[in-house]
């Protein structure tokens, strides 16, 4: 995305643009993971920044036109207890057991088919040693849905499951031992929304894709465009060309096949948007 943006910034001054037209280029940070779109959020905190349209260049590809913003909430749940020797203190409530129970309960949560939703336990940790009941164990979760009410429903279901796990493990503790405690820490909130597929920005992206000989596909994803869409600014995300796979894995890969076509598509969309 950054390379494509720099290429566009290099060529646009050579183009014949409408009088008064302006294009702002922004290289943001924190789009992935714990970043929680903080770069794009910071950009929109400036009251002087009110664009007529927003285009995020994100990842590889040439066919997809992302006009639906996938919402998400992330959290860390910490179970804490007295801990102790795995034999001598056995019977105290075990935070690691609570993490396991919670994971099982979350795995069994019913999810709506429409709008599509997903709940994933993405990281688990805790413990001090092989012969020690941990004083703390934790899990992190990623909750996603195509509509904000569905995201909130997932949050409610997950927090209820965490509370049930706390109760189940605490009730099994030995008499006289202190109960577990649960602390839920929000890690991020990405807003959802959509730019109408009939909007001129989306139509320009579809037309540009077809003009280059590709078959466009409307899509849903979580990108910097989420922030624009949530603020009422028409927004889309486009791949910057090339091919990729194994996203977010150590084996993630990229091939710069037809890479220039991605840059050309973005240029065509920018020019069409400036003319509209």
pLDDT of residue 31: 87
pLDDT of residue 231: 94
Average pLDDT over residues 65-78: 97
Contacts of 20 (CB under 8 A, 6+ apart): none
Contacts of 47 (CB under 8 A, 6+ apart): none
Contacts of 242 (CB under 8 A, 6+ apart): 60, 61, 254, 255, 256, 257, 258, 259, 262
d(CA 96, CA 78): 10
pLDDT of residue 89: 95
Instruction: Render pLDDT for 175-204 as a digit per residue (tens, 0 to 9).
Output: 999 999 999 999 999 999 999 999 999 999
> Rounded to whole angstroms, what are the CA distances from 57 to 17, 43, 94, 180, 220?
21, 16, 46, 46, 14
Q: Which two tokens stand for residue 87?
A: 């034999």
pLDDT of residue 33: 82
pLDDT confidence of 118, banded at 50, 70, 90? very high
pLDDT confidence of 174, banded at 50, 70, 90? very high
Structure letter (DSSP) for residue 186: E
pLDDT of residue 105: 98
Average pLDDT over residues 75-100: 97
Residue 139 C-alpha from the chain's centroid: 18
From the DSSP assignment, how many helices (H) and strands (E) are in the chain? 7, 13
pLDDT confidence of 148, banded at 50, 70, 90? very high
- Other CB atoms within a 10 A radius of the CB of residue 49 amount to 13
**Taking each helix axis from N to C terminus, what angle separates 259-275 and 2-11, rounded to the nearest 10 degrees?**
60
d(CA 116, CA 181): 33
Position 113 pLDDT exceeds 80: yes
Structure letter (DSSP) for residue 27: -
Domains in the chain, CATH or no CATH each: 2-70+193-275 (3.40.630.10), 71-190 (3.30.70.360)
- Other CB atoms within a 10 A radius of the CB of residue 229 amount to 22
Position 137 pLDDT exceeds 90: yes
pLDDT of residue 1: 80
Residue 1 C-alpha from the chain's centroid: 17
Give me the residues paired with residue 259 across strands.
none
**Taking each helix axis from N to C terminus, what angle separates 95-107 and 148-171, rounded to the nearest 10 degrees?**
140
Average pLDDT over residues 70-89: 96
Position 173 pLDDT exceeds 90: yes
Determine if the peptide bond prior to 115 is cis (ω within 30°). yes
pLDDT of residue 149: 93
Instruction: Render pLDDT for 17-57 as a digit per residue (tens, 0 to 9).
Output: 887 888 999 999 988 888 999 999 999 999 889 999 999 99
Is the whole model's pTM more than 0.85, yes or no? Answer: yes
């Amino acid at each position: 995305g950054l390379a494509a943006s720099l290429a566009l910034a290099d060529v646009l001054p050579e183009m014949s643009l409408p009088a008064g037209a302006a294009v702002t280029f922004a290289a943001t940070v924190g789009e992935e993971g714990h970043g929680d779109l903080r770069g794009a959020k910071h950009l929109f905190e400036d009251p002087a920044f009110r664009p007529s349209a927003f285009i995020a260049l994100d990842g590889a590809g040439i066919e997809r036109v992302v006009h639906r913003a996938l919402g998400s909430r992330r959290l860390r749940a910490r179970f804490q207890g007295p801990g102790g020797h795995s034999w001598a203190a056995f019977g105290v409530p075990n935070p690691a057991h609570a993490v396991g129970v919670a994971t099982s309960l979350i795995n069994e949560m019913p999810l709506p088919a429409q709008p599509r939703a997903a709940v994933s336990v993405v990281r688990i940790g805790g413990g001090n040693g092989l012969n020690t009941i941990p004083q703390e164990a934790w899990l992190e979760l990623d909750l996603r849905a195509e509509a904000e009410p569905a995201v909130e429903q997932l949050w409610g279901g997950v927090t209820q499951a965490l509370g049930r796990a706390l109760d189940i493990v605490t009730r099994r503790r030995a008499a006289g031992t202190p109960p577990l405690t649960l602390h839920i820490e929000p890690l991020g909130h990405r807003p959802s929304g959509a730019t109408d597929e009939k909007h001129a920005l989306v139509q320009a992206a579809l037309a540009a894709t077809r003009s280059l000989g590709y078959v466009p596909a409307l899509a849903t994803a979580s990108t910097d465009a989420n922030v624009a869409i949530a603020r009422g600014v028409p927004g889309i995300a486009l791949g910057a060309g090339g091919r990729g796979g194994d996203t977010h894995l150590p084996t993630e890969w990229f091939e710069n096949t037809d890479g220039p076509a991605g840059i050309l598509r973005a240029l065509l969309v920018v020019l069409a948007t400036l003319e509209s």
